[in-house]
Structures are given as C-alpha cells and as structure tokens.
C-alpha cells in the first residue's frame, strides 16, 4: 500500500472540511493544500499504474494548474482503461462477485456508508468551481480506488459512472436479490425512461444470472429488457439503500410484477417492432376507439333539441350551459348612456353643427330667357337712316357683322343636337337616324355683278347663286327678237292649247259644284273641245 503521507492526508482532510464557497475566491493556502494532496494521491496510485513517466507528481510553485493536471491525466488515463478491463472481466464472471457479496451484512452497511460518502463528496465537488475542481474529481476516483484496495470487497463494477452511483445501483444489492425466488418481479417493473444510463449498463449485468436460475419458470430466454426497467429498479433501490428497508418493498414490487407478467410479455413483443410500427398501432387503436364512439348513441347534450323526457332526471343541472356567444348583447340603456347622448346633443347645439340635408342647386336645364332691354336713350340715328339700314340688310348689300351671341348660339345648337342624338340613341329601342344639320347660309338672288362690286374680295363664289337657281330652265328662253317663224308659231299654238284647257276646266267645275249635293259619282270628264 502506499505510504500514508501525513501531510498529504492532512491536506486532503482540510480540503474536505472547507466550505464550498471558499473555493470561489482564490486563496494560496487552499492551493498549496491542493497541491500536497494531489501529490499524495499520485504517490498512492503510482504502484498501480503500469507505466508512468513520472515518479512523483511535480507540484512545485512554478508548475501551474494546467501542467499539474496534465501529469495527473497521463497517469489516470491508462489507469482508467485498466480498471474498465477488469470490470468487464467481472461482468462475464459474476460468480466471483457473489462470493464477495455473501461475506457479511456489516460489509453492506460499510458499503452503504461509503456510497453515501461518495455522494456527499460528489455534491461538494459539484459546488466548487475552483481550478482545483477537476483535480478534486480525479481525487474522488482515486479515493474510490483506494477504498477498493482498502476494503477489498468492492468490485469495480459498482462504479460505472457517477449517475449510476447516485441512483444507488450497487451490484451487491442485485446479487442479494438474485437469490430470492422472484427476481423476475423486479424485472417486470414498468420503467420510466431514463436513457442516460443506457449506454454503460448492459443486460448481462443484471440478468445473466437470472437466465441460469429461472429458465424453468418463465420462457423469457432472449428477453431484451429495456434499460428503462433497470434504471427504474435503480431508483427504487436507491431509495431502499437510504432507508435500509430492503425486503418489504421488494416483496411488494414482486407482487406487482406477477400481475404484470402478461402485460410485459406483450411489451416485449412490442419492443420487437420499430417506432413507426408502434405509431401505427397507436393510431389504429385510436381510430377504433373513435369509430366505436361515433357508432354509439350520443349523449343527450349532443342530440340537438332535447325535451325533458329525453334526458335523465336533473341532468340539466349538471351540465354547464354557458358558452361563448358571438353576437354582441344589445345595449342596456342606463342613465349614463342617456346622459352622454344628451351631452352630445347639447354640445352640437352650442356649436350649431347639424347634419341636415343640404339643398343643392339644380343644373339649369333651360337657357335663361333673353331679356330684351329697351334702350331709353334717344336713338342717335335718324329715321331715314334706319330705313336705309334695313333695306341694305334685306338686299344683302351690307355684310352684316353677326353678333357674338349668334355665333355662340349656333355652335351651342349644333352641339346640343349632337348630344341629343346620342341620348336618344341610348334610350330608344328603335333606330333614330342622324339628323341632317343643314348649314344655313343666306343666298340672295342678286345679280352677280352687284355682288362682285360690293362684296369684299374674301367672299367665296360658293355663296353665290348657281345658274339653275338664277334660271331653272322653264319658261321662254328665247327673246322675242331671237325667234324664228316656226318658234313663233309654236308659241302661239301652245298658248292656245293652254287657254282651251283652262276654259274646259272652268266649264267642268261649275256643273260639278251643282251636282255635289246629290252625291252622284258621276264621272265628269272635261269634254274636250275640238
């Protein structure tokens, strides 16, 4: 064993005794104590490390935390792997374990104490946040190892990881129960999920022994127990450890286990399915349930209009008939409301601000009548001049300057006619043809010579009369002087003919008038005189 260096031990004790908050402030004494303690521990472990480059931990003042830590690391890494190997070895060969565990009850208690201690130290550990923190943890592992060596009763199997130990998982406990008849009770405990332990804890840790003992009882040869169940057992056992009540609780658990056998059997089958298949199963179960519900008769609250006869007695008292309504409730007219309205009215009155109908002026549809103003002043023109002006206007010798309003009037009338056409087209079913807007321009029958003389040069010839308008071609074209003898004869003959026709008409008219009262439809053709 390692030489117990008193200084080192004392340093360890000191570290243990200091309050965790003290670690938060850097203090040189604690640092020194930590150094000596680590040195001591290192020395303790040295024999067990297969090959280490250091004889002792170099913890002089000049070495900083990083370097010390690295040295420790160098030592501890191979050590840990060695321990793991040994643990695996014991896994496969649990009989050795049993042999160890059967030794004594007192050892149990010791172990429980140690376990508790460990837990306390762990808590301390977690509290401290010093640079020595990591070293502390390391120390713990080493302490545990030391205890192993000292006690000689533990197997490394117990110390898988911190959490396992928290839960109080101890192999020796397992081992005890293995001997009891219904170990399977423990197995059947329905577990909650605790997958953090899953990786390091293996099936074989717990159940390889069971397999060998109880193959006759249950046919669970290749049962893959979930880690959840183990971890749950750990939890249960953790509590047991603290309280030191082993047997009673275990018995209870076993009873439950019996009842749940079949269920867990199915669970085992379920565990063979993938997650997707499990989901499908759940869905199907839900669907079946919903279908079953919908086929059943509904509860009376869901049946629409329900009389008192259709529902059980006093059932309306139990149902909460209040639900959220979407409509706004009609306002209750309180005094305040009326008051506020009246205030509003008074305010409006004092402002004089009302929302009355405004009378709008109609668009004038008729043009305002032209009022003929009578000029009261004496006319400056004499009467003779007035007559002369009128005559000139009549004959068109004077081109009258058309007044402004006439021009506009013309334009307006033309526009209005076009507009009327459009409106009529819109509102009448039958077709209205376009109105002929005649351009009216006065054309006076004035001899061209006169026009040419008087009219300004700008006036176009188009305004003048065409030859047909001057003389249409009926009547005597030739003058008296121009006539030849035959022409004279012809004229005389036509004259005579006309005269005769007129006389015959006159003669026919008179007897017709006399006979009208009789009403005879006598055909009175004018008798042609030879």
Partner 1 sequence: MLRRNVRLRREYLYRKSLEGKERLLYEKKRKIKQALEEGKPIPTELRNEDAALRQEIDLEDERTAVPRSTIDDEYANATESDPKILLTTSHDPSAPLKQFVKELKFVFPNSQRMNRGGQVISEIVETCRAHDFTDLILVYEHRGVPDKIVISHLPFGPTAYFQILNVVTRHDNKDKKEMGTVSEAYPHLILNNFSTKIGERTANILKHLFPVPKPDSKRIITFANQSDYVSFRHHVYRQSGGSKSVDLKEVGPRFELRLYQIKLGTVDQDEAQTEWVLRSFMNTSKKQKVLGE
| Chain positions contacting partner 1, by CB under 8 A | 326-328, 330-333, 337, 341-342, 344-346, 348-350, 354-360, 362-363, 426-427
Are residues 111 and 46 in contact, defined by beta-carbon separation less than 8 angstroms? no
Rounded least distance, CB 21 to partner 1, Å: 57
Cα three-residue angle 132-136-141, rounded to 5 degrees: 155
Rounded least distance, CB 330 to partner 1, Å: 5
Distance CA 274, CA 285 (A): 17
Rounded least distance, CB 207 to partner 1, Å: 59
Rounded least distance, CB 504 to partner 1, Å: 58
Q: Which is nearer to partner 1, 424 or 502 (CB)?
A: 424
Distance CA 523, CA 530 (A): 20
Rounded least distance, CB 365 to partner 1, Å: 12
Are residues 111 and 3 in contact, defined by beta-carbon separation less than 8 angstroms? no
Rounded least distance, CB 323 to partner 1, Å: 13
Distance CA 142, CA 84 (A): 14
Contacts of 218 (CB under 8 A, 6+ apart): 184, 261
Q: Which is nearer to partner 1, 429 or 431 (CB)?
A: 429
Cα three-residue angle 96-97-100, rounded to 5 degrees: 90
Q: Which is nearer to partner 1, 428 or 474 (CB)?
A: 428
Q: Please name which of 151, 147, 150 lies closest in space to residue 100, comparing C-alpha atoms.
A: 151
Contacts of 123 (CB under 8 A, 6+ apart): none
Distance CA 39, CA 75 (A): 12
Distance CA 20, CA 127 (A): 6
In which residue are the tokens 């005597």 written?
Answer: 476
Rounded least distance, CB 325 to partner 1, Å: 8
Distance CA 371, CA 385 (A): 26
Are residues 115 and 154 in contact, defined by beta-carbon separation less than 8 angstroms? no
Q: Which is nearer to partner 1, 363 or 518 (CB)?
A: 363
Rounded least distance, CB 366 to partner 1, Å: 15
Q: Which is nearer to partner 1, 273 or 345 (CB)?
A: 345
Q: Please name which of 108, 139, 109 lies closest in space to residue 121, comparing C-alpha atoms.
A: 139
Distance CA 430, CA 425 (A): 8
Q: Which is nearer to partner 1, 24 or 419 (CB)?
A: 419
Rounded least distance, CB 301 to partner 1, Å: 21
Rounded least distance, CB 347 to partner 1, Å: 9
Cα three-residue angle 176-178-184, rounded to 5 degrees: 135
SS3 string of 54-90?
A: CCCCCCCCCCCHHHHHHHHHHHHHHHHHHHHHHHHHH
Q: Which is nearer to partner 1, 332 or 401 (CB)?
A: 332
Q: How many CA atoms lie within 13 A of 399 on its CB side?
A: 11
Q: Which is nearer to partner 1, 348 or 478 (CB)?
A: 348
Are residues 147 and 114 in contact, defined by beta-carbon separation less than 8 angstroms? yes
Q: Which is nearer to partner 1, 319 or 349 (CB)?
A: 349
Rounded least distance, CB 313 to partner 1, Å: 33
Distance CA 437, CA 409 (A): 14
């Amino acid at each position: 064993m390692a030489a117990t260096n008193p200084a080192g031990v004392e340093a360890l004790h000191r570290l243990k005794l200091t309050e965790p908050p003290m670690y938060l402030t850097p203090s040189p004494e604690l640092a020194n104590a930590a150094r000596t303690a680590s040195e001591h521990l290192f020395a303790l472990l040295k024999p067990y490390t297969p090959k280490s480059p250091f004889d002792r931990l170099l913890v002089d003042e000049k070495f900083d935390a990083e370097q010390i830590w690295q040295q420790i690391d160098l030592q501890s890494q191979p050590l840990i792997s060695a321990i793991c190997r040994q643990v695996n070895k014991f896994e496969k060969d649990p009989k050795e374990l049993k042999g160890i565990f059967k030794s004594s009850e007192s050892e149990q208690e010791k172990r429980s104490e140690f376990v508790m201690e460990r837990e306390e130290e762990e808590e301390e550990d977690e509290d401290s946040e010093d640079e020595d923190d990591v070293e502390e943890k390391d120390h713990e592992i080493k302490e545990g190892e030391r205890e192993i060596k000292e006690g000689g009763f533990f197997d490394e199997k117990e110390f898988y990881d911190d959490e396992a130990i928290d839960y109080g998982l101890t192999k020796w406990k397992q081992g005890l129960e293995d001997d009891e008849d219904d170990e399977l009770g423990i197995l059947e405990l329905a577990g909650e999920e605790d997958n953090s332990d899953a990786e390091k804890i293996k099936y074989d840790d717990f159940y390889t022994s069971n397999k060998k003992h109880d193959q006759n009882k249950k046919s669970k040869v290749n049962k893959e127990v979930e880690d959840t169940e183990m971890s749950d057992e750990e939890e249960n056992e953790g509590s047991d450890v603290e309280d030191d009540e082993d047997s009673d609780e275990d018995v209870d658990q076993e009873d439950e286990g019996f009842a749940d056998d079949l269920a867990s059997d199915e669970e085992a089958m379920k565990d063979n399915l993938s997650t997707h298949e499990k989901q499908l199963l759940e869905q199907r179960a839900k669907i079946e349930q919903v279908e079953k519900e919908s086929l059943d008769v509904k509860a009376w609250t869901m049946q629409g209009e329900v009389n008192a006869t259709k529902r059980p007695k006093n059932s309306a008292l139990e149902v909460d008939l209040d639900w959220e309504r979407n409509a706004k409730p009609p306002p209750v007219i309180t005094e305040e409301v009326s008051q506020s309205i009246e205030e509003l009215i008074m305010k409006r009155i004092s402002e004089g601000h009302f929302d009355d109908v405004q009378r709008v002026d109609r668009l004038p549809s008729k043009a305002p009548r032209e009022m003929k103003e009578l000029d009261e002043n004496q006319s400056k023109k004499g009467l003779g001049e007035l007559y002369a002006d009128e005559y000139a206007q009549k004959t068109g010798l004077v081109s009258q300057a058309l007044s402004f309003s006439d021009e506009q009037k013309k334009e307006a009338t033309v526009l209005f006619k076009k507009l009327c056409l459009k409106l009529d087209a819109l509102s009448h079913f039958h077709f209205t043809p376009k109105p002929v807007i005649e351009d009216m321009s006065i054309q006076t029958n004035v001899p061209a010579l006169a026009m040419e003389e008087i009219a300004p040069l700008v006036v176009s010839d188009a305004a003048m009369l065409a030859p047909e308008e001057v003389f249409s071609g009926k009547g005597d074209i030739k003058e008296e002087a121009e006539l030849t003898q035959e022409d004279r004869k012809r004229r005389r003959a036509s004259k005579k003919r006309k005269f005769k026709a007129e006389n015959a008409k006159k003669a026919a008219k008179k007897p017709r008038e006399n006979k009208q009262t009789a009403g005879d439809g006598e055909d009175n053709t004018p008798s042609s005189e030879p």
